[in-house]
């Protein structure tokens, strides 16, 4: 389960910005 750090960043970004 280690595709790319970018995927993780995107998931964290969405969680941090639920309104965006």
At 1-20, the pLDDT tens digits run: 567 888 888 888 888 876 65
What are 4's two structure tokens? 């790319």
Phi and psi (nearest 5°) for 18?
Answer: -75, -20
Q: Coil, helix or strand for 20?
A: coil
Q: What does pTM read for this prediction?
A: 0.26
pLDDT score for 16: 80
pLDDT score for 6: 87
Question: 9 Cβ partners below 8 Å, 6+ apart?
Answer: none
Instruction: In whole angstroms, give the CA distance from residue 1 to residue 16.
Output: 22
Residue with tokens 């970004």: 13
pLDDT score for 12: 87
pLDDT score for 11: 87
Phi and psi (nearest 5°) for 4?
Answer: -160, 150
pLDDT score for 13: 85
């Amino acid at each position: 389960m280690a595709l790319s750090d970018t995927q993780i960043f995107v998931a964290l970004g969405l969680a941090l910005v639920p309104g965006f």
